[in-house]
Amino acid sequence: MNEQDLLFYDVECYPFNSFVVIKDINYNIIGIFKDENRFYGLGNLIKGKTMVGFNNYWYDDHMLSAMLGGWNASQLKVLNDLIIGGQKMKATNKFKSLDVFQQIDVGMPSLKKIEGNMGLKILESSVDFNVDHPLTIDEYEESIAYCSYDVDRTIDVYKMRINSYFKPKQSLVDMVGMGERWNTTTLSANALLGNMKLPKWHDIRLNGEDFTDLSMLQLVPSEVVDLWNSGKDKGKVTIEDFDNVIEFGFGGLHGVHKSQKVFKNVKLLDVASMYPHIILNIKALGQATAKYKEILDERIRIKHLDKVLADALKLILNSVYGNLKNQYSSLYNPKAALSVCIFGQIALYTLAKMLSPVATIVQLNTDGVAFIPHGEYKHIWEEWQEIFNLTLEQEEYDLLYQKDVNNYIGVKDGKIAKCKGGDVARYKDDALFKNNSARIMDIAIVDHLVYGKSINDTLIENLDKPYLYQYIIQAGHTYKGTFDSEGNQYNKINRIFPTKKGDLCLYKKRKDDGLVRFPDLPEKMFVHNDDCDKIEKFERIVDLNHYVSIIHKKLDRWAA
C-alpha cells in the first residue's frame, strides 16, 4: 500500500453549498472543491488514488461519487438527506476507497468521541446543516476549518490502524482477490471456502462425526448438559467445585475462588490458539477444515519471517469462530460454534479438576486455568494435552489480585504484567476507540493494590495530565441533544470534569423536552471541548473528591 496513492477526505453538505476537503498523509491540503464550479478538477486529482475517510462507506463515498458527476448543491442535499435518513446506497465504483471506521470496535465510536478520547479538541461546527441561506464568507471559513480538522483526525486514526488492520487486510485482499470494501470477516470466509458451501449441523458434535460424543459430555455435571441440549442460546448453570464458583453457559467457562482475593506464586496454563485448534479437532469447517489447518500451519511457519502476512493469516484464523455465529456469513453454523464453545468449557473444567488435588485453583477463564501448585503437576499438563489434543503454555505471576474472573492484576518481578477488566484494564494504555473516561481511576486502583500507593497521591501527581480525568459524554440519537438547565445547547459530544465551582450541569434532552441526567456523573461540571493541554490551573478546577469516592467504592469490591 503506497502512501503516495492515498488521499484523505471529508464531505460537508448544506442546502445551498457543498464541498470536499482533500489532504495527503502529511496533513497537507491537496484541494478544496466546491459545488460553485461543479467540482471542476476533482476527477483528475483523485484519478488512480485511494480515497480514505471515516465512515465514508456509509456516507462520503456516495457524496463524492455524485460530486464527480457534477451534481449541484440542491441535488447533493437531497442525496445527503436520503443517506442520513437511512436509505441504503449501492457502493460506488468510480474510485477506490478505504474506511478507517470499518471494524474499528464493537462500540462503533464517532470521530468526535475519538477526538475526545485523545484529549484533543472536540470540534463541532456552529453552522446549522439545514441553514436557510447560502453560507456567508465567515460560515464557509468555519465549515472548511471544521471539515479540515476532521480530515486530520481521520489521518491520525489511519496511522493508528495501519499495522493492526490495513496492512494485514491488504494481504487478505491480495490473497483472495476481492476488493478493499469487503470487511476482513468476509474476506476470511472467502479465503477458506472459495466456491464451497458448507452444510449446517443440527446437533452438538465434539468429535467431528455425526453423533454427540457422550463420553466428553459426561465430564461435566448433568444439569450443564441439559442446558446445552435445551435448544436455548442463553442461560447459565452455576456450580461450586474445588473452592471455586464456576459458571457454564454459551460463552467461555468462568470460575473464581469463592473466598480469596490475593494469591502468591500463581501459575497460569493457557491453551495456545484454543478455538482454532478446537475447530480442527471437531472438524467444524467440514471440507474446509484441511484448508484451515494449512493456514494455521503456515502462520506458525512464517510468524517471525513475514509479520504482515502472518497477521493476515491470524485475521482469518481468529475470525472463523465469530463467523460461525454470524448469520450473514457463508460460514454460518451455530451448532458448530456451540460445539467449539462446549468443547472448550469441558476441556478447561477437566484441566482444573485434574489439577485440584495438587493445587489451589485460583480461576478458570475461557482459555486458561490459574492455580497455585502444592505438588508436581507437569504430568497432569502432559496427560491433559494428550486427552484433548490441545497445547498449554505457562505464564507465572508473583502476585495476582482478583476481584472476580473478569477483573484481575498480575504482577511479575515487581512490575504490572497484566491488567484485565473494567476497573483496571486501562492502567497501561488509552482505550482510544472505546470508553476512555476517567482513566486516572484505573491507575489509582492498580497502584494502590499493588504498590500500596495513596489514592490522593496518585490523583495529585497526575494533575498535569488533565486528559486522564476527563469524561466524554454523548447524548444518543434518541435524544434532541445535550443541554444545560437554562436551555443552552452544547456539542453532541462533550468533555467534562467534576468541579466544585459554579452550578453548570449537562443533561440529555428527551423528545418531549424532559431533561435526563448522565448516569454516575457529578452535579457540577466544567466543560472544556478544546485541547486538554490548554486547560490552565487545572488543579483549581477539578474536584478530586469525586474520583476518591468512586475509587473507594471499587476498591471495596477488591478487598480480601
Q: Tens digit of pLDDT for each residue in 76-131?
A: 999 999 999 999 898 888 999 999 999 999 889 999 999 999 999 999 888 999 99
CA distances for 176 relative to 57, 122, 171, 285, 330, angstroms: 21, 39, 9, 18, 15
Look at 292 and 214; give whichever has higher pLDDT.
292
At 72, list the grid cell: 449541484
Asked if 502 and 354 sit in the same domain, the reply is no
* Within-domain flag for 78: yes
- The predicted-structure confidence for 383-407, as pLDDT tens digits, reads as follows 999 999 999 999 999 999 999 888 9
* Within-domain flag for 108: yes
- The predicted-structure confidence for 465-523, as pLDDT tens digits, reads as follows 999 999 999 998 899 999 999 999 999 999 999 999 999 999 999 999 999 999 989 99
* Within-domain flag for 423: no
Tell the residue number behind the cell numbers 460445539, with chain if given.
339
**Which pLDDT score, from 0 to 100, does residue 1 have?**
66
**Which pLDDT score, from 0 to 100, does residue 233 have?**
86
CATH of the domain at 140: 3.30.420
Q: DSSP states of 40-86 as a string?
A: TTHHHHHTT-EEEESSTTTTHHHHHHHHHTT--HHHHHHHHHHHHTT
Q: Is 397 helix (H, G, I), strand (E, B) or coil?
A: strand
Q: Which of 173-187, 243-257, 345-359 has the lowest mean pLDDT?
A: 173-187
At 63, list the grid cell: 457524496
Count of residues making up the chain: 560
Closest CA to 398 of 383, 387, 382, 409: 409
CATH of the domain at 284: 3.90.1600
Q: In what order do the strands lie in the sheet with 96-99?
A: 29-34, 18-23, 6-13, 50-53, 96-99
Last residue of a domain, one of 147, 173, 199: 173
* Within-domain flag for 424: no
The answer to whether the CB of 225 falls within 8 A of the CB of 239 is no
Asked if 167 and 204 sit in the same domain, the reply is no
Q: What are phi and psi of 458, to 5 degrees?
A: -60, -45
**Owning domain of residue 469:** 440-556
Confidence band, pLDDT 50/70/90 cuts, at residue 326: very high
| Whole-angstrom distance, CA of residue 426 vs CA of residue 435 | 10
Confidence band, pLDDT 50/70/90 cuts, at residue 196: confident
The answer to whether the CB of 368 falls within 8 A of the CB of 348 is yes
Asked if 101 and 202 sit in the same domain, the reply is no
Is the pLDDT confidence value at 209 over 60? Answer: no
* Within-domain flag for 183: no
Q: In what order do the strands lie in the sheet with 237-241?
A: 237-241, 244-248, 254-257, 359-365, 368-373, 262-271, 392-404, 407-412, 415-420
Asked if 377 and 264 sit in the same domain, the reply is yes
Asked if 17 and 134 sit in the same domain, the reply is yes
Asked if 244 and 393 sit in the same domain, the reply is yes
Is the pLDDT confidence value at 4 over 60? Answer: yes
Average pLDDT over residues 432-450: 96
> In 268-333, where does DSSP find H-type helix?
274-281, 289-302, 307-324
* Within-domain flag for 29: yes
| Whole-angstrom distance, CA of residue 460 vs CA of residue 476 | 33
Asked if 515 and 460 sit in the same domain, the reply is yes
At 409, list the grid cell: 492484576
| Whole-angstrom distance, CA of residue 341 vs CA of residue 347 | 10
The answer to whether the CB of 139 falls within 8 A of the CB of 196 is no
**Which pLDDT score, from 0 to 100, does residue 211 have?**
42
Asked if 452 and 327 sit in the same domain, the reply is no
Asked if 267 and 331 sit in the same domain, the reply is yes
| Whole-angstrom distance, CA of residue 63 vs CA of residue 74 | 12
At 128, list the grid cell: 446549522
DSSP structure class, residue 499: B
The total number of structural domains in the chain stands at 3
Asked if 448 and 398 sit in the same domain, the reply is no
Last residue of a domain, one of 379, 405, 431: 405
- The predicted-structure confidence for 27-61, as pLDDT tens digits, reads as follows 999 999 999 888 999 999 999 999 999 999 999 99
- The predicted-structure confidence for 337-380, as pLDDT tens digits, reads as follows 999 999 999 999 999 999 999 999 999 998 999 999 999 999 99
Angle at alpha carbon of residue 456, lines to 454 and 457, rounded to 5°: 65
At 164, list the grid cell: 493492526
Q: Which of 126-130, 155-159, 358-362, 547-551 has the lowest mean pLDDT?
A: 126-130
Name residue 359's beta-bridge partners: 373
**Which pLDDT score, from 0 to 100, does residue 477 have?**
86
DSSP structure class, residue 162: I
Q: What are phi and psi of 501, to 5 degrees?
A: -95, 150
Angle formed by the axes of helices 167-176 and 184-193, to 10°? 30
Asked if 325 and 390 sit in the same domain, the reply is yes
Name residue 271's beta-bridge partners: 392
